[in-house]
């Protein structure tokens, strides 16, 4: 007897997590972006400190322009206006939305780290409570039968596959959790296309492995 949740319970749980994350943080939910930020935590901490020091986005842009000009010995460029030029805005122009409200700032770095740790702990709890937890060094009999039983070849294939998945995820601007759960839920066209490509490719590869190879 399988210890997995029924499909509808898993779907309800994912929907609850995604909706709650969007309502409480007003940000998109994604695992690949969390990994990227945690792996580059030094850069992210510098950016967070800059955000804390410069609460006004225009002030931050002017400070960055001045620092760049000082480093390269050039005159700082004027910050862009609502018309996309360095000229002053027309006095009779309608006020535009502030840069501070144009897009939410990234989630705090500690939140991203907590997300990744929670995924690991959640999987561990699920495996232990279902009685299926055990340490193993391979991908199971299905992988051995279809792909390879050689441990060295298996390690190389998994490493190369992981690199390709990471590259494709960053190239697509998100992973299946970001596009499939959050983006499709918000009816974003790019997420609908990306998710269709993700799962379409997975179906095609699975068919080739199990029916052709």
pLDDT string in tens for the chain (213-residue length)? 456 778 888 888 888 888 887 777 777 777 877 888 888 888 888 877 777 766 666 776 777 777 777 777 766 555 554 444 444 444 444 444 444 445 556 677 788 888 889 888 988 888 888 787 888 777 777 777 767 777 888 888 888 888 888 888 888 888 877 888 878 877 888 889 988 988 898 899 888 877 776
Listing DSSP states for 47-99 in one string gives: HHHHHHH--SHHHHHHHHHHHHHHHHT-PPPPPP-TTSSSSPPPTTSPP---G
Show the tokens assigned to 176: 């299946």
Residue entry with tokens 């510098």: 46
Instruction: Tally the residues of the chain.
Output: 213
Domain spans, the chain: 14-81+106-135
Return the pLDDT at 156.
86
Residue entry with tokens 């006004």: 56
Return the pLDDT at 202.
86
Surface-to-core class of residue 17, CB atoms within 10 Å of its CB (0-12 exposed, 13-18 middle, 19+ buried)? middle
Return the pLDDT at 76.
53
Return the pLDDT at 2.
57
Surface-to-core class of residue 30, CB atoms within 10 Å of its CB (0-12 exposed, 13-18 middle, 19+ buried)? buried
């Amino acid at each position: 007897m399988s210890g997995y949740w029924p499909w509808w319970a898993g779907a309800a749980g994912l929907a609850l997590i995604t909706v709650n994350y969007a309502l409480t943080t007003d940000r998109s939910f994604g695992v690949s972006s969390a990994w990227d930020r945690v792996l580059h935590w030094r850069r992210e901490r510098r950016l967070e400190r800059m955000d804390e020091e410069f609460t006004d986005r225009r002030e931050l842009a002017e400070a960055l322009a001045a620092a760049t000009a000082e480093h390269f010995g050039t005159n700082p460029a004027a910050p862009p206006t609502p018309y996309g030029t360095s000229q002053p805005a027309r006095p009779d122009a309608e006020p535009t939305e502030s840069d501070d409200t144009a897009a939410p700032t990234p989630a705090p770095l500690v939140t991203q780290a907590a997300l990744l740790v929670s995924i690991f702990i959640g999987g561990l709890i699920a495996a232990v409570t279902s009685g299926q937890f055990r340490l193993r060094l391979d991908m199971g009999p299905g992988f051995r039968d279809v792909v390879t039983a050689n441990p060295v070849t298996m390690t190389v294939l998994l490493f190369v596959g992981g690199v390709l998945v990471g590259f494709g995820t960053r190239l697509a601007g998100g992973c299946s959790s970001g596009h499939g759960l959050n983006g499709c839920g918000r009816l974003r066209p790019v997420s609908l296309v990306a998710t269709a490509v993700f799962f379409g490719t997975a179906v095609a590869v699975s068919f080739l492995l199990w029916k052709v190879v």
